[in-house]
Structure 1
């Protein structure tokens, strides 16, 4: 494969004083965004699960497929391809319209995760983002993030969480909302649990909303999450846990 060139460092201002660097590597068809500490390590091959052989294990829970757990040099990561759902996926399963690099889905997710991780939010740290430009102004994309160790999707643990857990989760979602962070698909598979800790993953199509915008999207987020609980565990469980979640979200001191 052709060696990538034209390297540059892009500096992003996070908050007021903190700087985070990303390494941009591109040629005529491929582009990589890499956390600076992974420079001279990540290549286009990293985004091909076949390259890793037995060190790439398919992720079986949630999503639309196209994700693998990677074990690289003693570290654990997740490789995820961007794939469509619904009727469109029958024709354009893995390709998207290219309207500029800043609108590429892997690039957008890489940058929002970089921002949130630097600000101390419980999200996975991004390692690298990739996209391949195709004819007719199309592209394919993928992202690699660090794997959150010893975590389990909330979808597998709904019946085991206490009121105090749901209260903490409500507080966490409120923390994201207060920072105007919009998660585009808040569901029980995109919340990971480690003991009493919660993490949000999969920020594809997520964004930081302008403070001047209407806050109706927050209610939409909550309704989507409630529908996910109901779909997985049933209305009775939803009614049982939602009160504690709302107390946490609305700032109540006790669950």
Structure 2
């Protein structure tokens, strides 16, 4: 169970899991210079591994993309502490973990305010011995069984009412036990179930698979992988809807 606590700071605040940390995390937990190793996987600008009192974690500094990055690489408009990207992602991960979903454990979020703007960082628990779906496809290890497990994982996410802002082949992890994890919930949010946004999530994932060359690797990729994923997804979503209806 996550025990979320907020520790005010002169220039902002830290939101952290007191059950994992005990006391509020030190600044070193959020400093790339103190990172255990660079780890260019997922997120803008990559992430880094850090050693924390709660174990090894993944540190991500929030960075802008697109045209907005030309004006400010990592500053966001201040609209209140609970509306910062780091706090919102921490809270969303808490909710999803409580619902039993395989998502990273939120360990600590830091917000540093600078007048009407802020910078932010997030540390989540490391998913050990995991590879991305993109890496798995590149290695030729993606099969129908994996596709079905990924479809089921996405169905559970959507069944919980969660929209993923960037569902792609780099944000799906498979660990050594075969468990499918979904990561990087920046800008994700809870929404009322609706076919429109659910299909948009799936379409984004499919575009990312095309982008990494899944079809070029195998002409039968859709039939061998994508169609089993969709079949498992729709079966899982229907099962979740039936369960909700029986309550």
**2:105 counterpart of 1:125:** yes
**2:56 counterpart of 1:76:** yes
Q: For residues 1-255 of structure 1, what are the structure 2 equivalents within 5 Å?
A: 20-37=2-19, 38-50=21-33, 52=34, 55-72=35-52, 75-135=55-115, 137-158=116-137, 159-195=140-176, 196-211=178-193, 214-236=194-216, 237=218, 238-239=221-222, 240-251=224-235
Aligned partner of residue 84 in structure 1, secondary structure: coil
TM-score (norm 2): 0.86
CA distance in 2, matches of 1:93, 1:103: 19
Q: For residues 194 and 27 of structure 1, do their structure 2 counterparts lie closer, same or farther at Cα, with a shift above 3 Å needed?
A: closer
Contact 1:34-1:129 within 8 A present in 2 as well: yes
Contact 1:59-1:65 within 8 A present in 2 as well: no
CA distance in 1, matches of 2:46, 2:142: 29
Contact 1:69-1:76 within 8 A present in 2 as well: yes
TM-score (norm 1): 0.83
Show structure 1 runs of 5+ residues with no match. Answer: 1-18
CA positional deviation for 1:23: 1.0
Show structure 2 runs of 5+ residues with no match. Answer: 237-247
Number of paired residues? 228
Aligned partner of residue 157 in structure 1, secondary structure: helix
CA positional deviation for 1:160: 1.0
Q: For residues 169 and 177 of structure 1, do their structure 2 counterparts lie closer, same or farther at Cα, with a shift above 3 Å needed?
A: same
Contact 2:50-2:56 within 8 A present in 1 as well: yes
Q: CA RMSD in A?
A: 1.9
Contact 2:99-2:160 within 8 A present in 1 as well: no
Structure whose residues are more often strand by fraction: 1
CA distance in 1, matches of 2:104, 2:42: 17
